Amino acid sequence: MSMTETFRAGFAAVLGRPNAGKSTLTNALCGTKIAIMSSRPETTRRVIRGIVTTESGQIILTDTPGLHRPRTLLGERLGDMVRDSIEDTDCSIVCLPADEKTGPGDRYLLDLAKKSRSPLIAAVTKTDKVSRAGLAERLAEIGQLADFAHVVPLCAPTGDNVDTLRDLIISTLPLSAPLYPLDAVTDESEETLIAELIREAALEMLRDELPHSLAVTIDEMEEVPRENKKDLLRVHASIHVERKSQKGIIIGHKGSRLREIGTQARKNIQKLLDSPVYLDLHVRVAKDWQRDPKQLARLGF
């Protein structure tokens, strides 16, 4: 049989309430960092596409923002993104943490996923956080929640059972030729991925000092040729906050915090691009941007 006769390809939405392990799972399935990760909920702001290609199929993963009750226009738009990605999917993977009970947020997402009528897979994340008996109990409980095609316990950071999940996702997809080039890992632009890595570094450094009123834009990127060395990528970026007081928090005493954010982000960008990077960061105030349609559009939402 030729590749096109047996090959499967399609879209799979990775769903879950905030901090359920969606981005970690997306990155583990892709084998590279596509979605930013943070120990704080509500990290994902975009529907990032990761592309996983094996000999038997190609999965286009959509890593959705964790769905929660919207308090701002941004929150409403993120909710719309999740609903759209579920409607257009060939398979939905619902992340349910092993160490937490099923809550109203999980049930709401499951109800949404059921409406798409595409196969449902339960990815039981964070299995390293519970005992064997605790996991068995949780798996039994999850099995009762919906008519899942598969229930897969896994630990994404260690890669435990990730390959099994990948093969099961492919088995649910329609027969199709590849939808993207075989070597593609994402359809996101380099610029978007760089902006996300800067935002991730800022979220990690700031911890609980700042709410999620943080956006990053790339103002300019240029490659500078260098003799007998790899070209240098110069990145000029802006971190946008909603209030002047937040600007001071990000900059820190004599710019110390901003320098730390820049150092961490630069390391991650260099790793992503395998290229030397010069990163210039500025902090700007965009008053109440999460509630302003014009500013949301300007910041890419």
CB 301 within 8 A of CB 44: no
Q: Please tell me the chain's helix, strand, coil percentages from 3-state DSSP, rounded to the nearest 5.
A: 40, 25, 35
- CATH topology for the 3-172 domain: Rossmann fold (3.40.50)
CA separation for the pair 108, 194 (Å, rounded): 33
Paired sense of beta strands 48-53 and 57-63, if any: antiparallel
Q: Which of 100-109, 146-155, 263-272 has the highest mean pLDDT?
A: 146-155
Question: Largest Cα–Cα distance in the chain?
Answer: 66
Which range has the worst mean pLDDT, 20-24, 30-34, 191-195?
30-34
CA separation for the pair 62, 50 (Å, rounded): 7
- The matching CATH number, chosen from 3.40.50.1370, 3.40.50.300, 3.30.300.20, 3.40.640.10, for 190-298 is 3.30.300.20
Q: Outline which parts of the chain fall under CATH 3.40.50.300.
A: 3-172
pLDDT exceeds cutoff 50 at 1: no
* pLDDT confidence band for 38 (50 / 70 / 90): very low
CA separation for the pair 154, 163 (Å, rounded): 10
Bridge partners (DSSP) listed for residue 2: none
pLDDT at res. 212: 58
Helices 22-30, 162-172: inter-axial angle, 10-degree rounding: 90
Going edge to edge, which strands form the sheet with 8-15?
Answer: 48-53, 57-63, 8-15, 91-97, 120-125, 150-153
pLDDT exceeds cutoff 70 at 37: no
pTM summary value: 0.59
pLDDT exceeds cutoff 70 at 176: yes
Residue count of the chain: 301
Which runs of consecutive H residues, i.e. helices, occur in 124-178?
132-143, 162-172
* pLDDT confidence band for 72 (50 / 70 / 90): low
